[in-house]
Amino acid sequence: GSNRWRVADFAEGDKGDDEEVKIRFFDTHAQAVEGGMRGDTPRSLWPPEGGEIKGIENCARFLPNDNDTGGFFVAILRKVR
């Protein structure tokens, strides 16, 4: 797992001259707000600032590459008696 990640957004104009979608990345929520990230920009898209996330190494983040859907996290949980 990763303790830090960037959040992607479509760049202004969406497509370049070669018809490829242009994407920009933001390291923090503040950077996204200043950069004019589209739509609702909840802080929960980014890891907590200055803090560790306990147990995140047991998780994985999956992003779709073939369709226009959101990414999601998967974690393996073990029941402790």
| pLDDT (0 to 100) of residue 68 | 66
Measured at the alpha carbon of residue 26, what is the angle toward residues 33 and 12, in degrees to the nearest 5? 70
Tell me the pTM: 0.57
pLDDT of residue 8: 85
Distance between CA atoms of 6 and 78, rounded to whole angstroms? Answer: 28
Q: pLDDT at position 44, please? A: 84
CB atoms within 10 A of CB 32: 21
- Report how far residue 63's alpha carbon sits from residue 37's, in angstroms, rounded to the nearest whole number: 18
- Give the model confidence (pLDDT) of 23-67 as tens digits: 889 988 889 988 888 777 888 888 877 766 777 777 777 777 666
Nearest CA to 56 among 79, 72, 74?
A: 74
User: Which of the listed ranges 7-16, 20-29, 70-79 does the model predict with the highest average pLDDT?
Assistant: 20-29
H-helix or E-strand containing 65? none
